[in-house]
Amino acid sequence: MKEKLYSIKARASFKGKHLSGAERIVRESEIETVLEEIYKKVRRKNPDSINIKVENIEEKPLIVDKTLRLKNFSFSNHIEANEKAVEILHIETGISKNILWKLIEEVHTGAAPDKENMRGAMIVNQKGERIELDRYRGIRTTTVDFLDRKKVLKKLLKNGYTERTLDALALTTKNLIYPDMIAEYCISDEPDYTVGYVSTKNFYYRFSPLKEKGNTKGGRIYFVKNSIDIQKFYNFLQKKPVLIRDVNI
């Protein structure tokens, strides 16, 4: 890749409260077009403030051939879906089902200490302990995108997926590359978006529905090994540029 790469990050808020965000990794020649796209996207919810940052990426990106493999599960309600999610997470992490249910309940009711949504993900080790450094902020995975985002989006939309699937797949594929990351659980904080997922080293299990319609709470749990070096983990998820070629459907 000869042309310089840039990270574009946008955040929109209203009265200090986060409304929406977007992130891309682009070539220099694409910056202007993508800035316009991103601006249009994040202003949809009528924010009073939009913050857009463009930064040169110095580090060589890690190129990944494919995302995790998509697998769909459909349930008649979110409780049944969560039972299956807990089963998968129990097998993958070894954490007891009781503890898993408690952690999932926290995400569905607001996992920050003030019972609001956390800004990033919580991190849980194999003992079932929350080990993120800040329970309000959690950890945010950034600096990941597709080499040809438009092509991949088209493919996903044609197969009945959404742009949220695209972003979630990129993010969780980066997460699961990290050797000490075991699995992830996610529901959206968008009240009408009830599809969620559990991802493991090989699969992106997409659950419909994983949360109750109308619930404004959501978030992510990153399940990691007990032996993890938390600073190195933060550093990889926040700083290492990752570009993905294609989806695995």
Binding site for ligand PML (CB under 6 A): 162, 164-165, 168, 186, 188-189, 195-197, 206, 218
Q: Which is it for the CA torsion 188, 193, 199, 204, positive or negative?
A: negative
Query: Of 186 and 243, which CB lies nearer to ligand PML in the complex structure?
Result: 186
Residue partners of 241: CB distance under 8 A and separation at least 6: 5, 7, 25, 57, 59, 60, 61, 62, 143, 144
Query: Of 197 and 222, which CB lies nearer to ligand PML in the complex structure?
Result: 197
Point out which residues pair with 49 in neighbouring strands: 13
Query: Of 197 and 236, which CB lies nearer to ligand PML in the complex structure?
Result: 197
Query: Of 10 and 228, which CB lies nearer to ligand PML in the complex structure?
Result: 10
Minimum CB separation of residue 172 from ligand PML in Å reads 9
Per-residue CA distances from 174 to 3, 66, 68, 188 (Å): 23, 11, 9, 18
User: d(Cα 29, Cα 195) in Å, to the nearest integer?
Assistant: 35
Minimum CB separation of residue 165 from ligand PML in Å reads 4
Minimum CB separation of residue 240 from ligand PML in Å reads 21
Work out the number of other CB atoms within 10 angstroms of the CB of residue 113. 10
Minimum CB separation of residue 221 from ligand PML in Å reads 13
